[in-house]
Amino acid sequence: MKNIMFIAPPAAGKGTQAELVVEKYHIPHISTGDILREIAKEDSEIGTYIAETLASGRLVKDEITYKLIERRLKEKDCKNGFIIDGFPRSLDQAIEYDKILKKLGYEVGNVISIVVDEKTLEKRITGRRVCENCKAIYNINDPKSAPTVESVCDVCGGKLFQRNDDNLEAFQTRYQMYKEKTEPIIDHYKEQHVLTEIDGNDTVENVFKKIDQIISTSK
Ligand code: AMP
């Protein structure tokens, strides 16, 4: 099993697709956003710093993300492959990630860039709801991805919440950050011949089919 990395703008469907990959391939899903949201709940200096940064849509300091990622990748469950989402998010982070992988004896694997246009992202961002328990993702603006009962998770019955950076103002900052800082890493991975671009302006099922094909043909 090769490792998998997603590169995509906010609300492009990375989290939803990662869940489907986990279900089929039983590898851990490492999302820096999820890890940071957990730390943001802590009543500490770092918790407050992360909560404020997340709410603004800006990026958290590199040194913090490097420590979190290295610590997580050292865990045993990553030995047979993992899916990383939300990291790296800048060229500096990609260069550091290459070093971390080398140190741990891992390969970058398949890098998948999910391309979605800005208008679609804006529509998705305001409708996104996440289960506070199992992290399943819904969209109340799309009948196909809406929960059966409002605010209740279909999977585990947990309560659904709206991320406090899922508003149009924070979206503009996050999207701008993506264009400026994250997009340049696409070329970095193209140069390593590990990147595949896919069209994410499609249904969840069709996008997953394309991802699944990349994973299953590259073993
Ligand atoms: P996400 O869940 O991937 O949309 O990430 C939510 C927020 O977490 C981002 O807008 C950033 O504030 C922060 N974040 C996630 N990953 C990183 C990263 N690799 N570097 C810096 N900040 C990050």
Catalytic (active-site) positions: 14, 89, 128, 163, 174
CA-nearest residue for atom 1, ligand 1, is 33
**What is the band of 202 on the pLDDT scale with cuts at 50, 70, 90?**
very high
- What is the position in ligand 1's atom list of the atom closest to the CA of 53? 12
Mean pLDDT of 113-127: 94
C-alpha to C-alpha distances, 60 to 6, 165, 176, nearest whole angstrom:
19, 14, 15
Question: What is the mean pLDDT of the segment spanning 202-206?
Answer: 94
Q: Residue 138 and residue 158: Cα distance in Å, rounded?
A: 12
In ligand 1, the atom with minimum distance to the C-alpha of 50 is 12
Q: How sure is the predictor about 219, in pLDDT bands with cuts at 50, 70 and 90?
A: low
The best mutation among 56, 59, 90, 163 to test binding of ligand 1, ranked by most ligand atoms within 8 Å of the C-beta, falls on 59
Query: Confidence class of residue 2 from pLDDT cuts 50, 70 and 90?
Result: confident
Ligand 1 atom 5: residue of nearest CA: 33
Predicted local confidence at residue 5, as pLDDT? 98
Residue recorded with tokens 């400026």: 180
Q: Which pair of tokens denotes residue 48?
A: 């407050």
| Cα of 149 from ligand 1 centre, angstroms | 29
Percentage of the chain with pLDDT > 90? 95
Under the banding of pLDDT at 50, 70 and 90, the label for residue 1 is: confident
Q: Which of 76, 69, 79 is nearest to 34 (CA)?
A: 69
Mean pLDDT, residues 138-142 taken together: 92
pLDDT tens digits, one per residue of 163-177: 989 999 999 999 999
Q: Judge whether residue 129 has pLDDT over 90.
A: yes
- Is the pTM higher than 0.95? The answer reads no
Tokens matching residue 162: 């709206």
Atom of ligand 1 nearest to the CA of 69: 19
Percent of the chain exceeding pLDDT 70 equals 100
* C-beta separation of 144 from 206 below 8 A: no
Q: What is the arithmetic mean of pLDDT over 194-201?
A: 96
Amino acid type, 140: I
User: How confident is the model over 15-73, as pLDDT tens digits?
Assistant: 999 999 999 999 999 999 999 999 999 999 999 999 999 999 999 999 999 999 999 99
Pocket lining for ligand 1, CB < 6 angstroms: 10, 32-33, 36, 53-54, 57-60, 65, 86-87, 89, 93, 165, 174
CA–centroid distance, 6 to ligand 1, in Å, is 13
Tokens representing residue 187 in the block = 């070329």
Mean pLDDT of the chain: 95
Q: What is the pLDDT of residues 87-101, one digit of tens each?
A: 999 999 999 999 999
The β-bridge relationship of strands 128-131 and 137-139 is antiparallel
Question: pLDDT for 71-83, tens place per residue?
Answer: 999 999 999 999 9
